[in-house]
């Protein structure tokens, strides 16, 4: 695949995107493939400028434009340095517990363990402590209803029996007389931090609180949660502080459905959740937790779910989700505040999460988020139930907020196939809504790489022992090395040559002016030793260059001309030796722990210098020599990452390390199909290294000008960082040329100082923060000074400045990135995307084992095995069970589900009676009734509604229903649909498991017209149920079975039946329709279903009332759960409707 020559604006403009922050489309042209130097705007040929030593100054107008463009940077010397981190930790939050179960996981011991850890590590004293406050009712009402808040307030006066009775109406909660006050205090704690961060009292903060909050919904408790703290905080920030865009990141192992439901129509809040899902088998068992849920209306695209479908997910999986999904979307969304629902139950050892993430991994996630929103980041504690893991996870994140370097990951590796599959699905769902996620049409197709013999692990993996993290104590954070003597190298024949002495002096003046130099530890420079130079250069070359010190002007000119793009003066050797030695000094300081990171303001540059030749302004390869010096003083082949972001390819560095797997060299540069300096094919993406070093040379070759922040950050997210984390370097060296900066006369590109700061920040998560920036090119004095200052400030721990993207990435640049990814997929597993053939299958048979829990969710249907011939004539089979299965939920409750019908026929079924003799759940009873009995199992005259498939029902579909595509969809499938229904049919479903024969049954293609099943109320489609082809001789017998939820957290919304009773013949109150009407169980208004005029769906969206009853078949649908529900609490209204409809009591109503 070759780079595309033109930005594909037509396809982008055709996309339906709701993001109000999308940049205008760019229609610029990038060089056409195969034509050297072709393009609308080509930069001057570098070899001409360098060899002739001539360059025209920027015009005063252009220079002034550049200065004006940089004035928005917050780099002024008077900028206030904020205290770093605020902390809210109040002992009052421990004053509630479960009165009836001492072993309940959510208890006061969680905060005790955290406090002990923070005291042990001295973190409490390093934070700015804030007093917790109680959230006011008006603040809670930003998310919750007043009626619900008042109900919770009354719990302060209830006795234990009353508390337990109320708690039992919710899912996985307990209540205590102090629960309400503590929940108010927890919400208020987060609001206090919002005020502090947005009021510029602190940079970031953490609220160590309980109870958690992210499951709490508008009018109900759920999953240990009473009030949704981060949701309230987001609305509070918008209302009080005028914040327009809030990012909520939820890394708790359970999906924060309460937060999602609060904002799923709102484009001002971007919600990202990464959670255990296991195809819906893990709590809260909602289809809304899957990747396909992206929001509704204007909020579509602003809900992001990354569902993990296996346990044992590791740091590499979580980091990949951030790099591939969250950070790119956040970059386009541009949040002004980041709130984190910080549950730590994904840490290894947690009994609920069963994941294998480490505290160091959560430090990495925290660091990645600190680059957003100008560093305005607040973590709010959610779950975490292994006390040691919880305490160490909180500690690691707090260390990172305080600016401590991220610990190295023990074995980051690459994301597992299951994670890659989930990420591919999420990206596919989001791509229509976000420009930054657009990928070239010829994208990655799978993870099988030709010639790659390595077997990939499938996981899950047994978690290793929890590592003990070490946090360094540093004398200073950032080292700075500079020596004025390096200005003695100059061009004797042309004082306007771009590589001029003023480059370094002006950078230093700017660092001093901004007070940044004073914040650094200034290190003395020294010349590189002969031995150090010989690690990368030949003795003959070093001697040749030393000899220039005594040459005359004419000899120097002749010697200069013998190299490519070089000038030499008598001081050149000493300056080059000093630049290389200064870089080695900085390496020594970092490896000795004297400083964490550093900046080397040195010249002449070095990355073009070959082993035996000067090239492109470069004499000694400072970064290469420093890398070898680091390995020498460490005593082993230290893993070193060299990132070269100079706009020119670092040919010298590439050649020095091309056979060495201990040094990973990544270069991003203009290539222009071989026409950009240093010319030739050395910088092409096909150059990957040689022998043992194959795969350790990575080239991203830009084929045109105007590359800017968007393109570089996409390259970072998709390529540079995935490879870097997999490599896991022990030291990072950056060949930091700034000639890709906006306004540079040689680069012709558009990187901003803010962009460079973000690139630096993202690299700082590697190698325990040991990163050194070494100046290479950059020839606009203003832009290099501002860019170096922005990078230095970031190294010092200041948050990167806000970055606003002016446009989407250029398609030619995206093609270059994709080409490099394709080349390197054979070497790096982190680059292998998964092609998922059957993404939307909720439960495949392979995933259901005796150990795996059955789903208690709307998509929890199982395959039905039916006898040959007419199923009624043959008889209704008895349900048999191979084993019962428990569902893993927060309260360790059991949730029982459905069904296997075997060929074990009974004589009773042949007469039209179907009673399953398996012990059943009362709550799972489903009633299918008619006013008239049939004989011999014949079809009955009572039609079934479109929603009836949400219950465990058997529907015989005539063959015409699968072929007559012209008939309007007035019923579950096309055509006049007869129903297989028996008078007084009652199916009581127990907890059953598929037998092997049912598990092995083949998959069937679902006809398009049958996707209408289950959607009449605005709910699930056929994929939420299971379609089974009868195993008879005819292909026309199709059956559907869906298990209703035996319990729903929204049952509290069901109100008493009005005194006037029910009238099942009542028409829709909006349109007067008499068919497919539904009854709202909160206000008892009647509206038509989705396939009439969808007035009930509109009523739900306007009122928020969750539960509705079908007047056709008496099934009950919950909009919030996206599932059918059958529970004891619904029997009164069902009985009343049945009595009104048929004039008789509902049989077997209990």
Got the DSSP string for 930-994?
-SS--STTPPBS-PPPGGGGGSS------GGGGT-TTS---SSSSS---B---TTEEEE------
CA–CA separation, 397 vs 363, rounded Å?
5
For residues 887 and 853, the answer to whether their CB atoms sit within 8 Å is yes
pLDDT of res. 627: 98
- 99 pLDDT more than 50: yes
- 896 pLDDT more than 60: no
pLDDT tens, position by position, 461-511: 455 555 667 776 666 899 999 999 999 999 999 999 999 999 999 999 999
Give the model's confidence band at 65: pLDDT under 50 very low, under 70 low, under 90 confident, else very high: low
Mean pLDDT for the stretch of residues 133-155: 98
pLDDT of res. 465: 58
110, 126, 259, 272: which is closest to 205 by C-alpha? 126
Q: How far is CA 354 from the centre of its chain?
A: 20
Choose from 44-58, 73-87, 170-184, 898-912 the range with maximum mean pLDDT: 170-184
pLDDT of res. 367: 98
CA atoms within 13 A on the CB side of 845: 14
Give the model's confidence band at 1040: pLDDT under 50 very low, under 70 low, under 90 confident, else very high: low
Q: How far is CA 15 from the centre of its chain?
A: 22
Q: For residue 227, count other CB atoms closer than 10 A to its CB.
A: 26
pLDDT of res. 440: 75
Mean pLDDT for the stretch of residues 17-27: 35
Work out the percent of the chain whose per-residue pLDDT is above 70: 72
What is the pTM for the complete model shown? 0.73
Minimum mean pLDDT range among 442-456, 747-761, 989-1003: 989-1003
Show Cβ contacts of residue 71 under 8 Å, excluding neighbours closer than 6 positions: none
Minimum mean pLDDT range among 59-68, 139-148, 710-719, 1035-1044: 59-68
pLDDT tens, position by position, 594-606: 999 999 999 999 9
pLDDT tens, position by position, 311-337: 999 999 999 999 999 999 999 999 999
Q: Which residues face 271 on adjacent strands? A: 248, 303
Mean pLDDT for the stretch of residues 890-909: 33
pLDDT of res. 26: 35
pLDDT of res. 958: 32
pLDDT tens, position by position, 525-547: 999 999 999 999 999 999 999 99
For residue 322, the SS3 value is: helix
Length of the chain measured in residues? 1150
Query: Does the annotation count 218 as an active-site position?
Result: no
pLDDT of res. 1143: 86
- 170 pLDDT more than 70: yes
pLDDT of res. 1049: 79
pLDDT tens, position by position, 1115-1126: 999 998 888 888
* Dihedral over Cα of 95, 96, 100, 104: its sign: negative
Mean pLDDT for the stretch of residues 382-404: 97
The H helix count followed by the E strand count for the chain is 33, 25
For residues 501 and 490, the answer to whether their CB atoms sit within 8 Å is yes
CA–CA separation, 83 vs 734, rounded Å?
29
pLDDT of res. 1036: 45
- 1127 pLDDT more than 90: no
Strands in 590-676 per DSSP E: 595-600, 640-644, 663-670
pLDDT of res. 787: 98
pLDDT tens, position by position, 185-242: 999 999 999 999 999 999 999 999 999 999 999 999 999 999 999 999 999 999 999 9
pLDDT of res. 66: 60
pLDDT of res. 123: 96
For residue 207, the SS3 value is: strand
Q: Is 31 exposed, middle or buried (0-12, 13-18, 19+ CB in 10 A)?
A: buried
Show Cβ contacts of residue 927 under 8 Å, excluding neighbours closer than 6 positions: 986, 1114, 1134, 1138, 1146, 1147, 1148, 1149
pLDDT of res. 70: 59
Q: What is the mean pLDDT of the chain?
A: 79
pLDDT of res. 81: 64
Minimum mean pLDDT range among 164-168, 528-532, 1015-1019: 1015-1019
Q: DSSP label at 323?
A: I
pLDDT of res. 329: 98
pLDDT tens, position by position, 920-947: 333 333 333 333 333 333 333 333 333 3
pLDDT tens, position by position, 418-432: 999 999 999 999 999
Choose the catalytic residue: 215, 229, 489, 1095. 215
Q: DSSP label at 393?
A: H
- 907 pLDDT more than 80: no
b/e map 62-100, b = 16+ CB within 10 Å: ebeebeebbeebebeeeeeebebbbbbbbeebbebbbbe
Choose the catalytic residue: 254, 497, 607, 608. 608
- 956 pLDDT more than 50: no
Query: Does the annotation count 1105 as an active-site position?
Result: no
Maximum separation of any 2 CA atoms in the chain, in Å: 116
pLDDT of res. 211: 98
* Dihedral over Cα of 862, 863, 867, 870: its sign: positive
């Amino acid at each position: 695949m070759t780079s595309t020559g033109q930005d594909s604006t037509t396809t982008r403009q055709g996309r339906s995107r709701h993001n109000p922050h999308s940049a205008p489309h760019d229609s610029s042209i990038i060089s056409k493939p195969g034509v050297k130097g072709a393009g609308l705007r080509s930069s001057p040929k570098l070899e001409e400028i360098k060899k002739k030593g001539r360059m025209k100054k920027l015009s005063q107008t252009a220079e002034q434009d550049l200065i004006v463009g940089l004035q928005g940077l917050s780099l002024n010397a008077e900028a206030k340095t904020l205290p770093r981190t605020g902390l809210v930790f109040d002992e009052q939050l421990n004053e509630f517990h479960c009165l009836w179960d001492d072993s309940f996981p959510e208890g006061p011991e969680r905060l005790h363990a955290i406090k002990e850890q923070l005291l042990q590590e001295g973190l409490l004293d390093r934070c700015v402590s804030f007093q917790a406050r109680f959230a006011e009712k008006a603040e809670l009402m930003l998310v919750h209803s007043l009626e619900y808040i008042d109900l919770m307030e009354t719990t302060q006066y209830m006795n234990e029996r009353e508390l337990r009775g109320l708690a039992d109406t919710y899912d996985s909660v307990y209540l205590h007389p102090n629960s309400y006050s503590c929940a108010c205090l927890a919400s208020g704690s987060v609001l206090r931090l919002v005020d502090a961060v947005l009021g510029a009292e602190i940079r970031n903060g953490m609220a160590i609180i309980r109870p958690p909050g992210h499951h709490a919904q508008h009018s109900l408790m759920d999953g240990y949660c009473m009030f949704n703290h981060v949701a309230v905080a987001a609305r509070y920030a918008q209302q009080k502080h005028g914040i327009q865009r809030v990012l909520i990141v939820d890394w708790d192992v359970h999906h924060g459905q309460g937060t999602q439901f609060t904002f799923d129509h709102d484009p001002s809040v971007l919600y990202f959740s990464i959670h255990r899902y296991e195809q819906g088998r893990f709590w809260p068992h909602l289809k809304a937790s899957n990747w396909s849920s992206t929001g509704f209306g204007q909020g579509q695209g602003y809900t992001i779910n990354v569902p993990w479908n296996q346990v044992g997910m590791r740091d590499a999986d979580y980091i990949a989700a951030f790099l591939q999904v969250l950070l790119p979307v956040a970059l386009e969304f541009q949040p002004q505040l980041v709130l984190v629902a910080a549950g730590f139950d994904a840490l290894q050892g947690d009994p609920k999460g069963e994941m294998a993430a480490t505290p160091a991994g959560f430090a990495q996630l925290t660091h990645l988020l600190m680059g957003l929103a100008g560093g305005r980041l607040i973590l709010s504690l959610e779950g975490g139930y292994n006390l040691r893991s919880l305490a160490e996870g909180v500690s690691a994140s707090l260390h990172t907020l305080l600016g401590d370097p991220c610990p190295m990951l023990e074995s980051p590796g690459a994301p597992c196939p299951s994670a890659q599959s989930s990420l591919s699905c999420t990206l596919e769902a989001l791509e229509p809504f976000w420009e930054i996620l657009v990928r070239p049409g010829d994208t990655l197709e799978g993870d099988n790489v030709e010639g790659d013999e390595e077997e990939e692990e499938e996981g899950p993996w047994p978690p290793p022992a929890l590592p003990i993290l070490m946090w360094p104590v540093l004398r200073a954070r950032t080292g700075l090395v500079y020596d004025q003597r390096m200005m003695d190298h100059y061009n004797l024949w042309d004082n306007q040559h771009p590589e001029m002495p003023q480059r370094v002096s002006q950078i230093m003046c700017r660092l001093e002016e901004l007070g940044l130099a004073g914040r650094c530890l200034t290190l003395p420079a020294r010349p590189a030793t002969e031995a150090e130079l010989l690690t990368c250069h030949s003795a003959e070359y070093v001697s040749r260059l030393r000899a220039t010190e005594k040459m005359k002007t004419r000899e120097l000119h002749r010697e200069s001309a013998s190299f490519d793009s070089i000038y030499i003066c008598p001081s050149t050797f000493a300056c080059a030796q000093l630049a290389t030695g200064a870089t080695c000094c900085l390496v020594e300081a970092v490896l000795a722990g004297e400083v964490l990171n550093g900046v080397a303001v040195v010249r002449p540059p070095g990355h073009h210098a070959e082993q035996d030749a000067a090239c492109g302004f470069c004499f000694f390869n400072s970064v290469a020599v420093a890398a070898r010096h680091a390995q020498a003083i460490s005593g082993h082949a230290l893993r070193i990452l060299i990132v070269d972001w100079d706009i020119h390819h670092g040919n010298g560095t590439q050649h020095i390390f091309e056979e060495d797997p201990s040094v990973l060299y990544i270069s991003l540069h203009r290539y222009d199909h071989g026409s950009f300096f240093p010319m030739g094919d050395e910088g092409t993406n096909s150059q990957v290294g040689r022998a043992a070093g194959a795969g350790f040379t990575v080239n991203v070759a830009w084929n045109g000008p105007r590359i800017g922040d968007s393109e570089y950050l996409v390259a970072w997210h998709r390529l540079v960082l995935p490879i870097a984390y997999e490599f896991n370097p022990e030291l990072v060296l950056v060949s930091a040329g700034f000639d890709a900066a906006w306004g540079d006369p040689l680069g012709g590109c558009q990187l901003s100082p803010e962009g460079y700061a973000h690139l630096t920040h993202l690299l700082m998560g590697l190698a325990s923060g040991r990163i050194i920036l070494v100046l290479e090119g950059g020839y606009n004095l203003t832009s290099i000074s501002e860019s170096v200052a922005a990078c230095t400030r970031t190294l010092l721990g200041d948050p990167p400045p806000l970055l606003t993207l002016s446009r989407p990435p250029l398609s030619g640049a995206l093609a270059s990135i994709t080409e490099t990814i394709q080349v390197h997929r054979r070497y790096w597993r982190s680059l292998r995307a998964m092609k998922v053939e059957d993404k939307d299958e909720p439960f495949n048979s392979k995933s259901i084992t005796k150990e795996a829990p059955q789903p208690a969710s709307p998509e929890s249907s199982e395959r039905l095995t039916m006898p040959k011939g007419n199923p009624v004539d043959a008889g209704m089979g008895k349900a048999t069970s191979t084993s019962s299965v428990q569902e893993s939920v927060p309260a360790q409750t059991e949730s029982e589900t459905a069904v296997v019908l075997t060929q074990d026929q009974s004589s009773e079924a042949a007469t039209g009676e179907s009673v399953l003799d398996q012990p059943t759940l009362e709550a799972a009873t489903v009633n299918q009734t008619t006013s008239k009995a049939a004989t011999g199992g014949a079809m009955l005259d009572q039609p079934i509604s479109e929603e009836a498939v949400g219950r465990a029902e058997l529907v015989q579909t005539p063959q015409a229903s699968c072929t007559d595509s012209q008939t309007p969809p007035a019923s579950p499938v096309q055509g006049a649909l007869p129903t297989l229904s028996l008078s007084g049919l009652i199916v009581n479903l127990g907890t059953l498991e598929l037998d092997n024969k049912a598990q092995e049954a083949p998959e069937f293609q679902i006809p398009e017209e049958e996707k209408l099943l289950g959607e009449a109320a605005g709910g699930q489609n056929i994929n939420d149920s299971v379609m089974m082809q009868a195993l008879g001789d005819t292909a026309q017998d199709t059956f559907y079975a869906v298990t209703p939820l035996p319990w729903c957290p929204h049952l509290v919304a069901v109100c008493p039946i009005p005194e006037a009773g029910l009238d099942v013949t009542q028409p829709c109150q909006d349109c007067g329709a008499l068919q497919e009407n539904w009854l709202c169980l909160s206000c008892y208004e009647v509206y038509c279903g989705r396939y009439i005029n969808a007035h009930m769906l509109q009523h739900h969206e306007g009122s928020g009332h969750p539960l509705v009853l079908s007047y056709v078949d008496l099934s009950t649908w919950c909009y919030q759960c996206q599932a059918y529900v059958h529970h004891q609490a619904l029997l009164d209204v069902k009985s009343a409707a049945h009595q009104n409809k048929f004039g008789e009591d509902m049989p077997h109503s209990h």
